Amino acid sequence: MLIVSSLAYAAQVQIAISTDHTDMVLATNKANQLMFMYYGTKVGCPQQFEQFQSYRRSDYSTEPLAYPARGGRFFNQPALAVKYSDGDANTELTYSSHETKNISSDVKQTTVLLSDTKTSLEVQLVYTAYLKEDVIMAHAVITNKGKKDITLENYASSAINLKAGSYLLTHYYGSWAREMQVEHELLTHGIKTIENKMGVRTTHTENPSFMLSLDNSSLDENHGEVIAGALAWSGNYKLQFQMDETDRLSVICGINDYASAYTLKKGATFSTPEMIWTFTTSGAGQASRNLHDWARRHYIYSKGHLAYTLLNSWEGAYFDFNTKTLTDMIDDAAAMGLEMFVLDDGWFGNEYPRNSSRAGLGDWQTNTKKIPEGIAYLADYAHKKGIKFGIWIEPEMVNPSSNLAHKHPEWIVKSSGREITTTRNQWLLDLTRPEVQDFVFSVFDETMKKGEGKIDYIKWDCNRHVESFGSTWLTEQSRFFVDYTLGLYSVMKRIREKYPNTIIQSCSSGGGRVDFGALEYFDEVWTSDNTEALSRVFIQYGTNMIYPAATTGSHVSAVPNHQTNNITPLKFRFDLASTGRLGMELQPANMTKEERTFAAKAIQSYKQLRHLVQDGDLYRLVSPYDGNHYALMYVSKDKKEAMVAAFCIHYQGRTKTPKIRLHGLDPQMKYSIEEINNEKPSFWGNGKTFSGAWLIGQGINPQLVKLYDSGIWHLKAQE
């Protein structure tokens, strides 16, 4: 048993994990435990923590452990809970060693080795610091060096500990077609948990990401201390916020321990997913920009190229098409200036044709009645028209009405002796099984082969979650949830080795797989199945707080909208979609000539501005939750160019024009302002030049007063 005195640390070892503007400090206490001392602005030499005193009771071990383990004198929420072969459920980790190495000129990695006082359990805490972006990525590597198997009952990725006057938690709740709604709450004593237990499609109801505003009762875009966190994991997750009796906040994030006890065989290692942290004193906006820069430069799959505009066939044709329908859509897409056509669901299955969601999943042969010429013909047709070609697959799923379901009933996720439930008329394939992993890989591979080298983009869908979890393959059923996600990643690794340049979208009934775990392999996500522009204001506002706009597909669809029945003007739809990765999802044949002309112009404008949306700095100017308007802007890194977008989301009595103060500009520069996508400019300053200082201080007051009025402005610095 460790006897801990917290009166003074008398720290022998202090470890600073530093970025350009932040420090995270760990230090050992007298009992050689590794404590989480600090996360915030730079504090200089970490040795200053040597004699630190917290004045906590010395006989209570409530000091913040860097990786709190269940047992010993520790009684708060643990990051690690282990059961040993003798039934002991305590773990007491002490510091063994640490090292820091340079991964590159602006990335440093610190690894701290901890070991249990009684057993041969070792834990490495790995912190990767991205200096310029002020991001620290953290995960744990747990190794059973003993002679007997042990059970990991909880194995979080990372824990931090904070002390502030108040903690405002901002998180992202929702549902299908209403993802990433922003909710704020001041944390009180006790535990707040954000989690998902659905196995796959885990990000509709919550997202494994959040922001914490310290000493601030509202989310401030531009000022104040904010910590943002995101877990890179596409399975069940759990984010826990525990405020204890000393008002300290412990934040523990990782894989959800729900039904997931994991046996670690002797000699085996388990590596947890990465938890991404950022800290800033410049408000939520800077926290987002840190995450966006880090993601775009270092982490997500699509690095360094601009995303293409596209026409997706789903809402325009659903399951009802033939070759002519598709080639006509390709013609129309090319004529409007779109750069890619994506053939969605419905192209496969012969014996069990995919004419609705009721049949065909699993039978990935081209439907010869609908497309007798084959997929390569369509891809070739698109290429000849000068645009790229993409296609939809849902390889993790099977309809009961399919040859695959008859051939491989053992591949289906099921708990022995229990009913297999369908969702959207489909079952889930058991990705913990190596043959299923091979099959899922082959669905991708064979589809690519069907295109004879001309498929540029794959939309990977996933339309159900796990029910009655279980596997006929696994001997240890509680590995199911974790091994499913690891199985998915293993398939994605193989796919990326063979197809490094194929653009792949992670779609999961819209935004059901929107997380950094997926974005390590996928280029972008389908943000939501709700394509209606007013709903999208809120969905995209929330999603882009964490995930960069370049990765969030945003499509213009028909009215009345198929999800909400709402009717919004084409301009409003285009302007809003232009703040993400622009696409269209409708039947162009149903558009009027004027609508097509407008669309072509708006697509052309987007192409001229998309480097700002996709590579620039996002500034949220007016929150849609504040009532009447939504406004945001993207600024180029050199501050010489910007795009501002604003939307009226409530009728303003024709009198209340918004005052939109801009951010991120250079006050010393002069900027010309040009409104795009509008015959009749809504801002009196259109075509004029203003100083950055004026735009920041006074701002613009466009006449956006009627419901669904919107505007986009292009700002250019004048030499």
Kindly write out the interface string for residues 225-264 of this chain, putting x where it contacts ligand DGJ by CB under 6 A and - elsewhere.
Answer: ----------------------------------------
Query: Between residues 123 and 393, which has the closer beta carbon with respect to ligand DGJ?
Result: 393
Tokens of 404: 């695959």
Catalytic: which of 461, 515, 523, 709? Answer: 461
Query: Between residues 275 and 519, which has the closer beta carbon with respect to ligand DGJ?
Result: 519
Q: What is the number of the residue whose Cβ is closest to ligand DGJ?
A: 345
Out of 344, 520, 617, 709, point to the residue binding ligand DGJ (CB under 6 A): 344
Residues 6+ apart with CB under 8 A from 694: none
Place of tokens 């206490």: 29
Q: How far is the CB of 3 from ligand DGJ (least distance, A)?
A: 57
Q: How far is the CB of 42 from ligand DGJ (least distance, A)?
A: 44
Q: Is 554 helix (H, G, I), strand (E, B) or coil?
A: strand
Query: Between residues 397 and 669, which has the closer beta carbon with respect to ligand DGJ?
Result: 397
Beta bridge partners of 226: 213, 280
Q: How far is the CB of 368 from ligand DGJ (least distance, A)?
A: 20
CB 469 within 8 A of CB 481: yes
Considering only residues 386 through 445, tell me which ones interact with ligand DGJ, judged by CB under 6 A.
Answer: 392
Cα gap 621→296, rounded to integer Å: 22
Q: How far is the CB of 345 from ligand DGJ (least distance, A)?
A: 4
Kindly write out the interface string for residues 454-493 of this chain, putting x where it contacts ligand DGJ by CB under 6 A and - elsewhere.
Answer: -------x-x------------------------------
Place of tokens 């002796």: 417
Considering only residues 502 through 541, tell me which ones interact with ligand DGJ, judged by CB under 6 A.
Answer: 507, 509-510, 526, 529
The residue type found at 181 is Q
Q: How far is the CB of 436 from ligand DGJ (least distance, A)?
A: 21
Cα gap 584→553, rounded to integer Å: 10
Query: Between residues 283 and 510, which has the closer beta carbon with respect to ligand DGJ?
Result: 510
Query: Between residues 264 and 518, which has the closer beta carbon with respect to ligand DGJ?
Result: 518
CB 400 within 8 A of CB 425: yes
SS (H, E, C) 90-134: CCCEEEEEEEEEEEECCEEEEEEEEEECCCCEEEEEEEEEECCCC
Q: How far is the CB of 271 from ligand DGJ (least distance, A)?
A: 31
Q: How far is the CB of 218 from ligand DGJ (least distance, A)?
A: 34
Cα gap 227→249, rounded to integer Å: 12
Catalytic: which of 430, 483, 529, 615? Answer: 529
Query: Between residues 332 and 345, which has the closer beta carbon with respect to ligand DGJ?
Result: 345
State which H helix or E strand residue 430 sits in. Answer: none
SS (H, E, C) 17-76: EECCCEEEEEEECCCCCEEEEEEEECCCCHHHHCCCCCCCCCCCCCCCECCCECECCECC
Place of tokens 């949830």: 481
Known active-site residue 529 = yes
CB 568 within 8 A of CB 708: yes
- Is it true that the peptide bond before 560 is cis, omega within 30 degrees of 0? yes
347 touching ligand DGJ, by CB under 6 A: no
Query: Between residues 357 and 703, which has the closer beta carbon with respect to ligand DGJ?
Result: 357
Kindly write out the interface string for residues 300-319 of this chain, putting x where it contacts ligand DGJ by CB under 6 A and - elsewhere.
Answer: --------------x-----
Annotated catalytic residues are: 461, 529
In the complex, the residues that contact ligand DGJ under the rule CB under 6 A are 314, 344-345, 392, 461, 463, 507, 509-510, 526, 529
